[in-house]
Every structure is written in structure tokens, then in C-alpha cells.
Amino acid sequence: MTDVPTHDSGGAHAATGWAPPLPLFLLQPVLARVVRRVASRYPELLERLGPVRGARFLIDPRGLPFTLLLKPDPDALLLRACPRGRPPAHDALIAGRFLDLLELVDAAEDGDALFFSRELTITGDTEAVVTLRNALDNVEGSVAATVAGMFGPPGRAALAALRRAARRGTPEAQP
Amino acid sequence: MIRPELVCPAGTPAGLRTAVEAGADTVYCGFQNATNARNFPGLNFTPQEMERAVGHAHDRGTKVLLALNTFPPAGKFDLWRDAAALGAEMGVDAFIVADIGVADHIAREHPGARLHLSVQAAASSPEAIRYYCREFGVKRVVLPRILTVPEIEALAAEIPCEIETFIFGNHGLMVEGRCSLTNYVTGLSTNMDGVCSPAADVHYDRDTEGTMTTRLRDVTIDRFGCAETAGYPTICKGRYHAPHREDGYYAFEEPVSLNLAKLLPSLMGAGVHAFKIEGRQRSRAYVRKVVGAFRRAVDDVMAGETPALDDLVALTEGRKQTEGAFKTKKWR
Amino acid sequence: MSRKLTLGPIPFHWPAETKRDFYARIADEAPVDEVYLGEVICSKRAPFFERAYAAVADRLERGGKRVILSSLSEVMTKRERQMMAGLCEVDDREIEINNNSGLLHVSGRTHRIGPMMNVYNERTLAVLHVRGATHFALPVEMPGHAVARIGQAAAAAGAGLEVQVFGRASLAVSARCYHARAHGRTKDNCQFVCEDDPDGMPLTTLAGEPFLRINGIQTLSQSCVNLLGDLDDVAASGVTHYRLVPQDTDMLAVVGVFRDVLDGRATGAEGAARMDALDIAAPFSNGFWHARPGAHHVRTAR
């Protein structure tokens, strides 16, 4: 990323070696597999990202106990769970209800509409976010289902559980 | 009554397939460069994608319009020339043009090609439209969103080409193709570069109370309280102070979307040939819902039934909709 | 190459008396070569000065100026269409077309193309030239490098090429009147409230920065285009005509500065100092010429 200010909120803390809770720690290798799988299953996604492939996106699914750091760089793919309250250095932040974000990923929900209604929050590198949104929108089929499918029936159950957890975490969310 | 063509946005190959599936008669799209007015990051088609998309659409009886609706600055005309050549080779059904030079080029170099006059050409009178028809053989005009239905009906009688009107989406206020507001702030031109409020220059700042400030480069466009609905970060949708206004106000227009669902029968009666849905920058979710809703509405009207209109307000800017200038001149 | 100084049409709704006085002084005292006359922004304003134009034009011509009649930039209503058609019948003076509806009428006859007409490239220039256009005022947002390219085409065609070198930039026009809107009115019952703002109604951002000027249906820049420091580049690009757009300031002094620098009687630095001394209530900008944000001012080494 050139000529784009880096949003380093809490970057210093992220490097201090604060130990994440166990479940987060267990999540990391799974997330690493997930992002590799998505990248190989949908090559057009990374292609369409073009110059913003090096951007670091902090995804904040409100209601979940962690945030996600995504760097869709084909040479150094990164998807990592991060403890809440200690955001790592990132270029752009995307925050919204988990279910909304999941639907955005699957192009089942309109990002502009969520943004107009203020249910989706964006800060930092707007161009990177817009590019990511447009690239995701060009993916047909369900990324979430692909990911769940990686883990067979337990994976699909986990996706369902995540959705349930998200609903519990955000009482206003409608199923 | 003419059966109107439903002309739908396609920002990406997947978006195009979604629009076709949702019932579009025609889709419009552009290449990944300044030759079209939605030159946004991550959007639009590579030549290979375009070729496949045209094939996909044609296999299903859907037409494809290629948007070449920007103005080539001197020295860069080749980009538009090449895009036109690609489009002709792929067999797009029409070119949407705004620039006189581009129109002339296509009319001469691709004599069989069909030309549509973009809203960016700002042809808002019978004389202007007739000029483009006479000189370049334009077959259809996309009307600016500034005419009432009776005015459109009167216009239809005075021009030798088809009429396309917007029925849903972004409600642009400035005369299109005549706006340099973005260039004034960012150095990128809507006319020459195909961008309006380029994302790279848009910044959203949030304070601790949840107030969101929208900036285009160093210019504050608007501020939204945490419960307020937002709009596109464009200068013409911003709030400003003026001497006679106590508070910041929408000097040009509130964030609002055009929705002419209820006017479809009268527009069809006025002689409109094609209905255009704005939003190549929107998602497939938007395309699916909006195209689907208008597909059913148009079919209902053609069948002599009162259209059952889905509520599309959730997809509108600021979650507000308007019939704009189409309903009343008071809008001006 | 000729370096003609022109005075563009007055964009603002100045009282008739003010306009008359303004043009009287221009006719008698201002060393401009050409003056564009006409209401370009709002057809509703036109009747206030319509009958004065003949006398004003005569006086300007007696003062040695060439007079060109400018058309409206927005043509939609019946009345606007009639105004355009009427202007296109004028045969004793040159006319400047500012809306594409005029092109239908003037094809095959000599005419000028105004700055709202989107002549961005050589091909557009050529198409219009073969249909009778002999002079092209370029869009205010045209960067210098593109002007230079189009300049070659204009020179080859023997056409005049004009660039705005002074005045607020016209950034947008609309079907809606924003002056009326600011006062809770519509265009139809505007009561000519735009007359209260001879230099446009200032719009300030919510952060308190002056940003734009509203002039009826037109949106102008807060900054004032000033290419005084770029005149050598402008000339080298093949520009033959240098347009000053009137605003509520000492336009005679502005004309004097540009004349002196264009004719080599003053250096750019002297000219710049004289412009600064005019204390114009707007920052200068030349960003568009330098392919930068239009509001920017790029210092040019001289």
C-alpha cells in the first residue's frame, strides 16, 4: 500500500505477546487453512483485488468474541483471529453484525444499503474496502458454505453454531 | 403500449449473470478503465470477461450494452478507440456514448453499430437529441432525470429515436457530463477519468459518540449522528453552511434514491421504450432484488394488472426514495 | 501567435444598472479584445437585460472590442428553446454555443463553441469544426497537457482556442436552483434571490472551510482561477484567446494586469504582485491546468 495512511490503532499492544485465550489460539491454524482454501477455490477473487492485495483488513464482527485480520496477499495469505480490545495494525476496519458480514461475503446482502443504514462501519483505506467488496461480489456460490464444506458435517454444524452465536450476541438480529 | 426493455446494471461478470437470471432484457457494463463512468476499483470487466459475458447473455436472449460514456481527453483517444473495437468484435448490441468524438468515431469505423446517447451527454431538449440522431445515427437517448412525465411524452413526439429513462437508483442532481466537483477536490475528473468521489480519497472518521464525518480528501462533506442514515460520499449529497441557514443543510439534495415504481404505467403510456436501473457499483443482492421487482412490475403492467411492488426502500440511499422531477416541476 | 484577451459573460445576476455601468467602463477603459455578452445561467434572468444588449454591444464595438453573443448553458423549457433558436438566427454578430441544442441550428454556419460544451479531444474539435465551429473555449477542468494536444489540432484547423485564465471556475450546473433552495423556495417562485449575491452565495463546509459558491443553478469554485503565472505554458499550448470571467472585484485592474503580462510590459512576478494587491476575496488556484485538484495552487518557477 502506497500513499495510504496506516491505521495503527493498538499496534504496539499487539506485539507485546499478550496471550490470547485458548479457543483463539486453536482457531489460528483453521483460519489459515480457510483462507488458503478460499484463495485457491476462487482465484478470480484475489485477481480482482489488484493493487489492494497487500492491504490489512481488520474485520470486526460485533457480537463475536474476537476480530479477524485479513491480508489477501497471494504470496503471504493471512487470516488470523485477534483478541478484542487489542486491535493489530491494519489499513482498513470493517465492522458490523456477524450475520450481516457473512451475508456480505456471500453477496446476499447489499453493502451500500448496510452502510446507508449505518449498520456497517468502515474506517481507514476506503478504496481497499470498496475493492474487496466488489471482488467478493464477483464470487458466485457461497464462500461461507465452501468454508464449512471443508470440514464436512462438523464444519457445517460449526457454521450453524456460529450463526446461532451471532444471533445470541446481537439480540436485535433477526434470523 | 410498447413492451419496455428493462435495462439493468452489471458491475462484474457475476453481477451480469445475476441480472440476466433476475429477468433483465438488457444489461449494461464497462471495461476496467476510464472509458466508462463507473471506473471504480474492483469493478467492471476485463476483455476476456466481457467476451464470455456477452456470450452468456446472448445465449439467454439478453442484450449487452457497452458503456463508453466518458470524454477522452486529447492524447488518450486510443483507449476509447480500442474499447469500441473490442466491443464491436464481441458483438455488443449497442454502445452508450457521450462524447461527440467517440460517437463520430463509432459511427464511421463501426457503421453497423447501434449508438445510444448516454445521460452524460446531457441532451435534455428535442433539438439536442435530434442533433445526435442526425449526425451520428443515434438510435436511443437516455434522458436526464429532470423531466416530468408529461414533458417526456411531449418530447417523444419530437424526436426520431427511442427513449430510455432511469426508474431506480442514485438520484444525481447535477447535469451529468457537466460536473467537475470531484476534480476540483481530488484531481480526478468524472468526465475524463470516470470517477465520482474516488474511494481512495474518501475518508470516514468516527468519534467516540458514534458521529461519522465523511471527507473527500481535505473537504468535509457531511457529518452523521449515530442514529442518522447516511448517503454516498459525494459533494452534491453533502451538508454545508450558507449565510441564510442556521444549521448545516443539504445545499443540493438529501441522500435519497429515485424510485419510479408507481409511475411505470404512465411512463409506458408516455412512450418510453426502456427503463434503466442505476447501480453498476451496487451488489448482486441489490441487482437481484431490484431487477426482480421491476421485472414483475413491468410484466404485471403489460398484463393489464396493477403491479405488486416490492418494498425497495431498504436499498435506497439514506433509506429514502423520491419520484424526483418526474412527478412535479416543484422539484426544481 | 495572437494573444487575445477576452471577457467572458457575467455569470451572476447583477442588477441591470450595475451591468450597464460595468460594460460602459469595459468599453471605454479596458484593454480587452473581445467581450462575450448574454445570460448564460438562468433563462428567468434574461428579460432584465435583454433589451440593453444592443446598446451595450454597440458601445463595446465603438470601444474597439469584438462582441460575441453567448447562449444559455441549460436548455429545456419552451422559452429556453426559443431563446436558443433566436440566438442562432443572429447574423450580424458571432455567437457562442453553450448547449448542444444549439448545434442543430448552426450546423454549416460560423459559430463558436463555449466552455460548457465538453470539447475534450481533437476528434470532437474536428467534428464540430467541419460543421462550422471556428473557435473553441475549452472546459475549465482541462489539464494543460491535453490542451497542448488539442492546440495542435486547433492550429491545423485554423481555429481559435480559448482557456479561462481568471475567475471562479464553473464546476457544475443543474436543473434545480440552489439559490432558491437555500431560501426555501423553488426555481418557479425564486423571487430572484440570487441578485443578493453578486459574487455567488458562499457554501462553507461543516468544518468551517469556505468551499463553493452558489449562483442559481450553477456551482462555482470558492477559489479564483488565476493562470497569470502559467501564461507562457498556456501560450505554448496553442491557446489564442485568454478568458477572464467577471466577478465582483476590480475587473478593470484584472484586465490591466493580464494585458501587461501578455504583452510583455510587465513580468509575471510584477503581475502576480499586482494581483495580490487587488485583495480579491478568494484564494487563487491553477490546479486544473496542472492536472492537480482544481482548488490547488501550484507555484510555477519563472
| Interchain contact C/B (3 or more Cβ pairs less than 8 Å) | yes
CA dihedral C132, C136, C141, C146 (to 10 degrees): 90
Alpha-carbon gap, residue B278 to A145, rounded angstroms: 30
Residue-wise pLDDT for B118-130, tens only, equals: 999 999 999 999 9
Are both B137 and B207 inside the same structural domain? no
Say whether C202 and B99 touch across the interface (CB within 8 A).
no
Alpha-carbon gap, residue A114 to C80, rounded angstroms: 42
Average pLDDT taken over every residue of chain A: 80
- Domain end point (choices B229, B250, B271): B250
A151 CB contacts (<8 Å, ≥6 apart)? Answer: A158
CATH number at residue A121: 3.30.1050.10
Are both B218 and B129 inside the same structural domain? no
Residue-wise pLDDT for B259-300, tens only, equals: 998 899 999 999 999 999 999 999 999 999 999 999 999 999
Query: What is the count of structural domains for chain A?
Result: 1
Are both B239 and B157 inside the same structural domain? no
Say whether B14 and A110 touch across the interface (CB within 8 A).
no
B221 to chain A nearest CA, in Å? 15
Alpha-carbon gap, residue B91 to C227, rounded angstroms: 46
Task: Find out whether B104 and C130 touch, Cβ atoms under 8 Å.
Answer: no
- pLDDT value of position A12: 37
Q: pLDDT at residue A165 above 80?
A: no
C-alpha distances (whole Å) from C161 to each of C80, C128, C142 are 27, 13, 12
Residue A46 one-letter amino acid: L
Question: Which residues on B lie below 8 Å from C188 (Cβ)?
Answer: 329-330, 332
- DSSP string for residues in C138-170: PPTT--HHHHHHHHHHHHHHT-EEEEEEEEEEE
Question: Which residues on A lie below 8 Å from B228 (Cβ)?
Answer: 118
* Phi-psi category of residue B205: left, alpha or beta, with phi > 0 → left and psi -120 to 50 → alpha: beta
Average pLDDT over residues B15-25: 97
Are both B46 and B167 inside the same structural domain? yes
Bigger pLDDT: B72 vs A8: B72
Task: Find out whether B297 and B290 touch, Cβ atoms under 8 Å.
Answer: no
- Identify the DSSP state of A141: S
B176: in domain: no
Q: How confident is the model at residue B224 (pLDDT cuts 50, 70, 90)?
A: very high
Say whether C182 and B219 touch across the interface (CB within 8 A).
no
A136, A138, A143, best to mutate vs chain B, most B CBs in 10 Å? A138
Say whether B220 and C209 touch across the interface (CB within 8 A).
yes
C-alpha cell at C214: 452558489
Alpha-carbon gap, residue C110 to A27, rounded angstroms: 75
Task: Find out whether C149 and B75 touch, Cβ atoms under 8 Å.
Answer: yes
Going by DSSP bridges, is the β-strand pair C201-205/C94-97 parallel, antiparallel, or unpaired? Answer: unpaired
- Interface membership of B42 toward A (CB under 8 Å): yes
C-alpha distances (whole Å) from B46 to each of A44, A51, A103, B41, C153 are 11, 15, 26, 13, 32
B72 CB contacts (<8 Å, ≥6 apart)? Answer: B35, B79, B80, B99, B101, B102, B192, C120, C121, C123
Among B77, B219, B243, select the one facing C121 at the smallest CB separation.
Answer: B77
Say whether A126 and B206 touch across the interface (CB within 8 A).
no
Minimal-distance CA residue of chain A relative to B206: A123
Alpha-carbon gap, residue B253 to B251, rounded angstroms: 6
Query: What is the count of structural domains for chain B?
Result: 2
B135 to chain A nearest CA, in Å? 38
In A75-151, where does DSSP find H-type helix? Answer: 98-105, 111-116, 126-137, 143-150
Which residue do the cell numbers 416543484 mark? B330
- pLDDT value of position B330: 72
Q: What percent of chain B has pLDDT over 90?
A: 81
Range of the domain at A66: 19-169
Report mean pLDDT in 10-residue bins for chain C, 302 residues. 92 97 98 98 94 96 98 95 96 96 96 98 98 98 98 97 98 95 93 96 97 98 97 96 97 98 94 94 96 95 54
Say whether A131 and B281 touch across the interface (CB within 8 A).
no
Over the Cα atoms of chain C, what is R_g? 18
Question: Which residues on B lie below 8 Å from C178 (Cβ)?
Answer: 251-252
Which residue do the cell numbers 444549439 mark? C102
Q: How confident is the model at residue B21 (pLDDT cuts 50, 70, 90)?
A: very high
Question: Which residues on B lie below 8 Å from C80 (Cβ)?
Answer: 125
Among B204, B212, B284, select the one facing A126 at the smallest CB separation.
Answer: B204
CA angle B251–B261–B224, rounded 5-degree value: 30
C-alpha cell at B203: 475518508
Among B12, B41, B289, select the one facing A130 at the smallest CB separation.
Answer: B41
In chain B, where does DSSP find H-type helix? Answer: 13-22, 47-59, 77-90, 100-109, 126-136, 149-156, 181-186, 190-193, 264-269, 284-302, 324-327
- Interface membership of B202 toward A (CB under 8 Å): yes
Say whether A138 and B12 touch across the interface (CB within 8 A).
yes
A33 to chain B nearest CA, in Å? 25
Say whether B283 and A117 touch across the interface (CB within 8 A).
no
Say whether C187 and B122 touch across the interface (CB within 8 A).
no
Are both B88 and B15 inside the same structural domain? yes
Chains that touch B (3 or more CB pairs under 8 A): A, C
Question: Which residues on B lie below 8 Å from C153 (Cβ)?
Answer: 74
Q: How confident is the model at residue A22 (pLDDT cuts 50, 70, 90)?
A: low
B247 to chain A nearest CA, in Å? 22
Among C103, C118, C209, select the one facing B177 at the smallest CB separation.
Answer: C118
ipTM: 0.97
Task: Find out whether B259 and B21 touch, Cβ atoms under 8 Å.
Answer: no
Question: Which residues on B lie below 8 Å from A49 (Cβ)?
Answer: 42
Are both B160 and B111 inside the same structural domain? yes
Residue-wise pLDDT for B271-281, tens only, equals: 999 999 999 99
Say whether B99 and C124 touch across the interface (CB within 8 A).
yes
Cα B253 vs. chain centroid, distance in angstroms? 17
Say whether B127 and C126 touch across the interface (CB within 8 A).
no
Are both B242 and B114 inside the same structural domain? no
Among B206, B281, B316, select the one facing A121 at the smallest CB separation.
Answer: B206
Q: pLDDT at residue A18 above 90?
A: no
B11 to chain A nearest CA, in Å? 8
- Domain end point (choices B221, B250, B279): B250
- pLDDT value of position C42: 97
C176 to chain B nearest CA, in Å? 4
Going by DSSP bridges, is the β-strand pair C160-173/B274-277 parallel, antiparallel, or unpaired? Answer: unpaired
Are both B210 and B275 inside the same structural domain? no
Say whether C288 and B183 touch across the interface (CB within 8 A).
yes
Q: pLDDT at residue A1 above 60?
A: no
Range of the domain at B210: 181-250
Say whether A134 and B43 touch across the interface (CB within 8 A).
yes
C-alpha cell at A86: 487489542
Average pLDDT over residues B138-150: 94
CATH number at residue B111: 3.20.20.70
Q: How confident is the model at residue B313 (pLDDT cuts 50, 70, 90)?
A: confident
Say whether B40 and A113 touch across the interface (CB within 8 A).
no
Nearest to C96 by CA among C13, C30, C9: C9
Average pLDDT taken over every residue of chain B: 93
CA dihedral A91, A95, A100, A103 (to 10 degrees): 10
Say whether C127 and B100 touch across the interface (CB within 8 A).
yes
A106, A130, A142, best to mutate vs chain B, most B CBs in 10 Å? A130
B193: in domain: yes
Q: pLDDT at residue A13 above 60?
A: no
Alpha-carbon gap, residue B9 to C272, rounded angstroms: 50
- Domain end point (choices B250, B267, B287): B250
B228, B283, B319, best to mutate vs chain A, most A CBs in 10 Å? B283
B293: in domain: yes
Alpha-carbon gap, residue A75 to A93, rounded angstroms: 22
Minimal-distance CA residue of chain B relative to A48: B42
Taking the CB of residue C184, how many other CB atoms lie within 10 A of it?
8
Bigger pLDDT: A97 vs B82: B82
- pLDDT value of position C124: 98
Residues 93 through 112 of chain B touching chain C, CB cutoff 8 Å: 98-102, 104-105
C-alpha cell at A9: 490503532
Alpha-carbon gap, residue C185 to B332, rounded angstroms: 9
The full set of domains in chain C, from first to last, is 4-168+222-285 (3.20.20.60)
Are both B60 and B17 inside the same structural domain? yes
Which residue do the cell numbers 465523511 mark? B214
Among B229, B232, B284, select the one facing A137 at the smallest CB separation.
Answer: B284
Are both B270 and B244 inside the same structural domain? no
- Interface membership of B303 toward A (CB under 8 Å): no
A8: in domain: no
The DSSP element (H or E) to which B6 belongs, if any, is: strand B5-9
Q: How confident is the model at residue A4 (pLDDT cuts 50, 70, 90)?
A: very low
- Identify the DSSP state of C8: P
Are both B46 and B123 inside the same structural domain? yes
Q: What percent of chain A has pLDDT over 70?
A: 79
Chains that touch C (3 or more CB pairs under 8 A): B
Nearest to A82 by CA among A34, A139, A14, A26: A14
Nearest to B143 by CA among B133, B135, B126: B126
A174: in domain: no
Among B185, B186, B252, select the one facing C178 at the smallest CB separation.
Answer: B252
CA dihedral B325, B130, B83, A135 (to 10 degrees): 10
